[in-house]
A and B are shown apart, each in its own frame.
Chain A
Amino acid sequence: MDYETLKLIWWLLVGILLVGFAIMDGHDMGMGILLPFVGRNDLERRAIINTVAPHWDGNQVWFITAGGAIFAAWPLVYATAFSGFYWAMMATLWALFFRPVGFDYRSKIKHPAWRSTWDWGLFIGGAVPPVIFGVAFGNLLLGVPFHFNDYLMSTYTGSFWGLLNPFALLAGVVSLGMITTQGANYLMMRTEGDIYRRVRTASLIFAALTVASFALAGYWVATGIDGYMIVSAIDPNALPDPLAKTVEVAPGAWMHNYAVYAWAKWVPIAAFAALAASILFSRLHKAGAAFWSSSLACAGIIGTAGVSLFPFIMPSSSDPRSSLTVYDAVSSHLTLGLMLGATAIFMPLIVLYTSWAYKVMWGKVTTEYIAANDKSVY
């Protein structure tokens, strides 16, 4: 396979891993966000937590593998983004600390204060990462202040607080809305009674919030944000060297792909349609269809960000030629090919055994079940 094709496939694969993360880890993070609000007593909260108890750990590996894949396929992006967004990454990491211990330790001690502490811990572990990832995507669309020296050592010249600008915060709201909807739709499938009624309301509210914030963000990108454009000739098969190109800032450049590629507009359209379907199915009490709709919405929303930026991954606002793109931030031909092979072998297996695990554990988790299995469930 030629280098150009591999570079494009890896753009797609990183996208797929991020979407996989949003669908899978997204639904248990969404569970964490809703937990303190839709669970009104300890038994209810335990029922909610136990809908994801056997699965949260496997789901979290989507996140870890997406990180590992970015390291392997786009090492410069991994290096520049993680070190540049230092405090955002630390906040994400520390928020994630609350998840494994929250899940596993919460019900091992009976004290109400102990349990309530970990419930809020699960809330933090569910809410903070999606907000930060949304904010990060917002900043990618705005451009990030960094540059390389001759040794390709990156220096980030912005601040943490600079990341929290109005547009990026709006992107954070989109992300939070999307993940919470995903969690609510999952909980609709696995709960009943009062909890079911509450998560259904949450599903309707958060899907509507996602539609509104996503539409507003799209309007903002189209009219108020300058995009980036490579103006020198691109040799897609060249050895990656981010300093070899010329990049210009141009108003409306993020809409360029929608003008050039006829299929591109279907990505945001799919996002809106899927969110509308999620609302419709929630109203009709079709929990499964709602869940798949919001999963499609995750793909549409993440895809919209990716298509708008393409071929950029991480544009530099302070030194545009240092911008990282799918052509020049990548690993070697050999590594990309090897990693594609590994993904082609293992990804189908992962989907297969994950599905089996869900099938084995499927069914409504009720408060009666929790009370009867006090010592063996979370």
Chain B
Amino acid sequence: MLTEELVDLSRLQFAVTALYHFLFVPLTLGLAFILVIMELTYVITNRPVYKDMVRFWGKLFGINFALGVTTGITMEFQFGTNWAYYSHYVGDIFGAPLAIEGLMAFFLESTFIGLFFFGWDRLNKWQHFMVTVLMAVGSNLSALWILIANGWMQNPVGAEFSYVTMRMEMTDFWQIVFNPVAQAKFVHTVSAGYVTASLFVLGISSWYLLKGRDLEFARRSFRIAAGFGFASALSVIVLGDESGYTVGESQQTKMAAIEAMWETEPAPAGFTVFALPNEAEMRNDYALHIPYVLGLIGTRTLTKEMPGIKEIKTRNRERIESGIQAVTALEALRKDHGDQAALARFEQHKADLGFGLLLKKYIVDVSQATPEMIQQAVDDTIPRVAPLFWSFRIMVALGFLFLLLFSLALFYSVKGTFIEKRWLLHWALWFIPMPWIAAELGWIVAEYGRQPWTIYGVLPTHLSVSNLTPANIYGSLAGFIGFYTVLLVVELYLMTKYARQGPSSLGTGKYHGETAGGALPAGAPAQKI
């Protein structure tokens, strides 16, 4: 029996493990390309400091990468262990990009990361540079296939339901690959990863500059991070995820919830900067409104209308009622594949099958659903507004702050005066955690905003889980929390330890704290900041 407790626990476990995994992914995506830039500079200029930069930032990359791999396997396992019905129902489509990710991307990244770390003495510098490039390309291709899979959950194109196999089946692979939602997600997500890594390098370099140590090393790292970060911060905003929001219905629903847009507004709709969304009465209290802006962001036009929550609900009620016909016809067909009357009825209502399945949360035989149950199902089709409204706003605000920070960092880099701007260095240092917060909030907006579906309009979340007992999930969830807490403590400890050691951890004898020269002799008091 799929109880609500089981479904909630399965969701909680997925959310915990996915959010945790995503602590490590963005830095991998971005730092890989920063390493490429640094190494390219090295092979062109032949200056050893750039090689040291690749090796030092590569060390931090490795510490982060280890946990990315560890927690990534969890994600793959979990579809099977905890979302068995989902795996059956959409595996024909969803499994393919995951398998291709392994074949095309993950093998590439994982094979060359070994040569990246251990191949320095065995490869010439151009060969090693190619290894770094392939590693970076592999990690980003990996993101591409995962986001193609995820984009399909948001906007399920190129697939059709079969009542014989009782699942969704692929009809057009290229439609799935070139799904506009997937493409928008990919660009937005990798750009966010580049921002994360840039700020990481910028912030740690700033710390060395503030301490007055390893100046040349830090200055060059700072410049690269400022340039790459500026381009990425621009890209993450301009090519924001919402460019895909007009495409599918799911994205319209998400958009309406993000904006707490209860009524359909005449085009172009206004943007609500601040409000207290009141879900019970379906209105906003204390709203601060900027006209036109939302319509421009959401539709990229002045004329296209964006549906409000009330209109979406009216539409969904019709689809649920039609879906009841689809479900009952399907159940007749499952008993007898030759039932022609049922087949005709099923074909007519098939597009609304998923909406009919929403009622399964309340009743087994959906033809007996009461008007109250139907109303509940209609209300379920809109995710809760307040968490989305706020997550989105904090994420966007952070995005603009990143752009401002990188603009200033780049400006003073070009002028060559950034070392004197101690306020800028402090800002960069203290802002290191912020891209992670923005990325996690982005995940919440994308995935919480898809509820009550795992596959929008096709498969409700409450039907997707494995038929286990809640006790099983309590146990595994406790295990994950235990393991992940210990791992995070270890990771942060090592990351801090090596960031503090700085390039001296390479043992070249040239850097801060090493006896053979460097900015400061060993044991010298650190400069006060």
Contacts and interface: CB of A to CB of B under 8 A. Distances in A.
B165 A78 contact: no
7 contacts: A72-B98, A82-B87, A96-B73, A100-B67, A105-B66, A331-B95, A334-B169
B173 interface: yes
B118 A53 contact: yes
Interface of A: 53-58, 60-61, 64-65, 67-69, 71-73, 75-76, 78-83, 86-87, 89-90, 93-94, 96-97, 99-101, 103-105, 108-109, 150-156, 239-241, 331-332, 334-335, 338-339, 342-343, 346-347, 350, 353-354, 357, 360-361, 374-377
Interface in B75-117: 76-77, 79-82, 84-88, 91-96, 98-104, 106-108, 110-115, 117
Contact of A360 (B86, B100, B119): B119
A152 B99 contact: no
A105 B85 CA distance: 37
Nearest to A101: B66
A375 B80 contact: no
Given A67-B77, A71-B80, A103-B66, A61 B162 contact: no
Contact of A65 (B77, B99, B466, B476): B99
A346 B170 contact: no
B505 interface: yes
Given A68-B98, A361-B114, A361-B119, 20 more contacts: A54-B118, A57-B69, A58-B110, A64-B73, A75-B87, A80-B88, A82-B81, A83-B80, A93-B74, A99-B70, A100-B66, A105-B63, A108-B63, A108-B498, A150-B334, A154-B88, A156-B467, A334-B173, A338-B96, A343-B103
A96 B76 CA distance: 13
Given A55-B114, A89-B80, A335 B170 contact: yes
B173 to A, nearest CB: 6
Contact of A68 (B65, B76, B113, B479): B76
A127 to B, nearest CB: 17
A155 B331 CA distance: 19
Tell which of B91, B93, B102, B490 has the most Cβ of chain A within 10 Å: B102
Contacts of B92: 72, 75, 331-332, 335
B99 A360 contact: no
A346 B107 contact: yes
Contacts of B466: 79, 83, 86
A239 B165 contact: yes
Contact of B91 (A53, A71, A89): A71
B227 interface: no
By secondary structure, the B interface counts as: helix
Contacts of B110: 57-58, 60-61
A78 B114 contact: no
A82 B91 contact: no
Nearest to B79: A71
Given A71-B87, A83-B467, A101-B70, A239 B164 contact: yes
B171 interface: yes
User: Is the interface on chain B under 10, 10 to 19, 20 to 34, or 35 or more residues?
Assistant: 35 or more
Contacts of A57: 69, 110-111, 113-114
Interface in B119-169: 119-120, 122-123, 162, 164-167, 169
Nearest to A80: B84
A72 B95 CA distance: 4
A344 B373 CA distance: 50
Interface string B168-185: 011101000000000000
Contacts of A104: 62-63, 65-66
Contact of A58 (B114, B487, B497, B505): B114
A153 B85 contact: yes
B335 interface: yes
A351 to B, nearest CB: 10
A53 B119 CA distance: 11
Contact of B118 (A99, A153, A339, A377): A377
A155 B467 contact: yes
The 3 A-B pairs at the shortest CB distance, nearest first, are namely A75-B91, A82-B80, A54-B114
B119 A152 contact: no
A80 B114 CA distance: 35
B95 to A, nearest CB: 3
Interface in B425-468: 466-468
Given A93-B77, A96-B73, A239-B162, A331 B91 contact: yes
A57 B497 CA distance: 24
B507 interface: yes
Nearest to A334: B170
Contacts of B98: 68, 71-72
